Amino acid sequence: MIALSHVTKRFGEKIVLRDVSLQLGERGVTAVLGGNGSGKTTLLRILAGLEKKDSGEVVTGIRVAYVFQELRLVPTLTALENVALVLDKQHRAEAIEHLRAVGLEAEADSLPADLSGGMQQRLALARAFAFGGDLLLLDEPFSALDDEWRRKMLDAVRIIAQTRPVVLVTHDMSDVEYLNCKTIRLD
Amino acid sequence: MKRSTVNKLLRRFLSPLLWIAVWELIALCVDREVLVPTPLRVAVRLWELVQTASFWTVVAFSILRITAGFLAGVLLGTLTGVLTAKLPLSEGLLSPLLTVIRATPVASFIILALVWMGRDAIPVFISFLMVFPIMQSHVQTGVRAVSPQLLEMARVYRVPPTRRVKALYVPAVLPNFSAGCRTCLGLAWKAGVAAEVISLPMRSIGRQLYYSKLYLETVDVFSWTVTVVVLSLLIEKLLRAVLLRLTKGGERG
């Protein structure tokens, strides 16, 4: 089971996370709620192994797919290459299928800069879905999507959450309700 | 005629012609071939030279020496640039050496090289010394320009090192690498020929320049200098074409 136990994280004098505990279970979506600067992204970064905790326990060594808030698409690679980048050699041909699933098949040869904000967000989601992993971390992944694609992506996350745990940072309570999330509030 | 076409014409033909006219005018005013020969006289002499086999042997050997030094500098400078960008300790260790190479006059190195090595190796060594620190600094800057956010993404998604290099490092380093190569090529030629003039290796442009000066054959000095300029421009064009292909390939990952 993936879990954080009594984790505290400081940046200089500022305590960003204080004694936070979280158990993710085998499946389902956990929504992390809280205001700006409450440590939501820091919590995801600790789960992804990108940030070290100052105290407490964290399960590490798991394969994590992460949709970053700022997306982090490689600007010099096409949409197809961005997805293929995270796939094993034997699965690279499947990249186009993942693009098709997020409606970007026609944009396979486009660079991220030539895509709209919503398309870029779908591309980041496609990359995360393609990677698979033991845990899916989503940091405000639907903010630029229109209603139609928001609903489609929420459905995709719901399907993924049937097989592995998902942690979602969001400000939108309708997402939380739609995905039937467990919630954790950071303040 | 379009403005851009006029500009092109001006840059390609009219501007060089203007400066050749200025040269002609100076030669006519000075009126002593031993000081400033006319462009026509230099052109005729150059035409005589290019018809001899020894001219091409001399040119080939000079190109070989300077290119060898240039390539060695590019290779070692690139490797060192990567190393110093990734390992701050190595930057601390190498920094005094690089500062000394940058600050020491090229003439000092040539004189030291005369003591240390054979005359054929000196232009190679000097061209290398000109290129090495510049390439190191350009490549180091390029490697450090790779987005830390993208590196984190690659870490999370467990992108293998070879794919990381191709997708993230190569596109970030290539523009700096290209700029470094273009800067270094001219320097390698200037310093390499200067080293040849002092070390006088057999079959070298520098040796021809030296003996032309010694016997006051100013027309020959001008002819060999024109040869160096033309060679430098041609090789730069070739390098540009290679770098352009590399850059296009690199951007596609």
pLDDT 10s digits, B180-219: 999 999 999 999 999 999 999 999 999 999 999 988 889 9
Residues within 8 A of A (CB atoms), B 167-186 only:
167-168, 171
Q: What gap in Å lies between CA A136 and CA A130, rounded to an integer? A: 11
B159: nearest CB among A64, A70, A85? A85
Reported pTM: 0.82
Q: Which residues contact A84 (CB under 8 A, 6 or more apart)?
A: A92, A95
Domain with CATH 3.40.50.300 in chain A: 1-63+133-187
Residue B253 has pLDDT above 60, yes or no: no
List of chain A residues whose C-beta atoms are within 8 Å of the C-beta of residue B168: 74
Which residue shows structure tokens 């971390």?
A137
- What pLDDT, on a 0 to 100 scale, did the predictor assign at position B29? 92
Beginning with the edge strand found earlier in the chain, give each strand of the sheet holding A135-139 in spatial order: A64-67, A135-139, A165-169, A28-33, A182-185
Residues from chain B contacting residue A127 (CB–CB below 8 Å): 157
| C-alpha closest to that of B238 among B204, B189, B171, B167 | B189
Chain A contact probe: residue of B153, B155, B251 with most A CBs at under 10 A: B153
- Domain B39-251: give its CATH code: 1.10.3720.10
CATH of the domain spanning A1-63+133-187, picked from 3.40.30.10, 3.40.50.300, 3.30.365.10, 3.30.70.260: 3.40.50.300
Count of A-B CB contacts under 8 Å: 44
Chain B: residue whose CA lies nearest to A131: B157
**pLDDT for A22-60, tens place per residue?**
888 889 999 999 888 889 999 999 999 999 999 988 887
B251 Cβ under 8 Å from any chain A Cβ: yes
Are A74 and B253 in contact, with CB atoms under 8 Å apart?
yes
Q: Which of B149, B150, B152, B157 to mutate to test the interface with A (most CBs of A within 10 A)?
A: B157
Q: B249 — contact with chain A (CB < 8 Å)? A: no
Contact A180, A31 (CB under 8 A): no
- Tell me the three-class secondary structure of chain A, residue by residue: CCEEEEEEEEECCEEEEEEEEEECCCCEEEEEECCCCCCHHHHHHHHHCCCCCCEEEECCCCCEEEECCCCCCCCCCCHHHHHHCCCCHHHHHHHHHHHHHCCCHHHCCCCHHHCCHHHHHHHHHHHHHHHCCCEEEEECCCCCCCHHHHHHHHHHHHHHCCCCEEEEECCCHHHHHHCCCEEEECC
Strand A182-185 and strand A28-33: the pairing is parallel
Residue A129 at interface with chain B, using a CB cutoff of 8 Å: no
Chain A interface includes B20 (CB < 8 A): no
Q: pLDDT > 70: what percent of chain B?
A: 97
Place of tokens 């020959």: B220
Please name the residues in contact with B154: beta carbons below 8 A apart, sequence gap of 6 or more.
A85, B164, B167, B168
* Chain B partners within 8 Å of A70 (Cβ): 149
**ipTM greater than 0.90:** yes
Q: Where are the domains of chain B?
A: 39-251
Give the Cβ contact number of residue B109 at 10 Å: 19
> Across residues B125-154, what is the average pLDDT?
95
Each residue's pLDDT expressed in tens, for chain A with a length of 187 residues: 677 889 999 998 888 888 888 888 889 999 999 888 889 999 999 999 999 999 988 887 789 999 999 999 999 999 999 999 999 888 888 999 999 999 999 999 999 999 999 999 999 999 999 999 999 999 999 999 999 999 999 999 999 999 999 999 998 999 999 999 999 998 7
Q: Does residue B248 surpass a pLDDT of 80?
A: no
CB contact under 8 A, B167 and A64: no
Report the distance separating Cα B156 and Cα A65, nearest Å. Answer: 7
pLDDT computed for residue A147 by the predictor? 92
Q: Please give the residue of chain B at the shortest CA–CA distance from A68.
A: B153
What percentage of chain B carries pLDDT values higher than 90?
76
Q: Which amino acid is at B137?
A: S
Best A76, A114, A123 residue to mutate vs chain B (most B CBs within 10 Å): A76
B252 pLDDT above the threshold of 70: no
Q: How far apart are CA A163 and CA A150, in angstroms?
A: 21
Residues of chain A with C-beta less than 8 angstroms from the C-beta of B169: none
- The Cα–Cα gap between B184 and B139 comes to 13
Q: Residue A50 is nearest to which of B152, B159, B167, comparing CB atoms?
A: B152
**Interface contact flag, B167 A85, Cβ < 8 Å:** yes
Distance CA B97, CA B132 (A): 11
**A85, B157: Cβ pair inside 8 Å?**
yes
User: B51 Cβ partners below 8 Å, 6+ apart?
Assistant: none
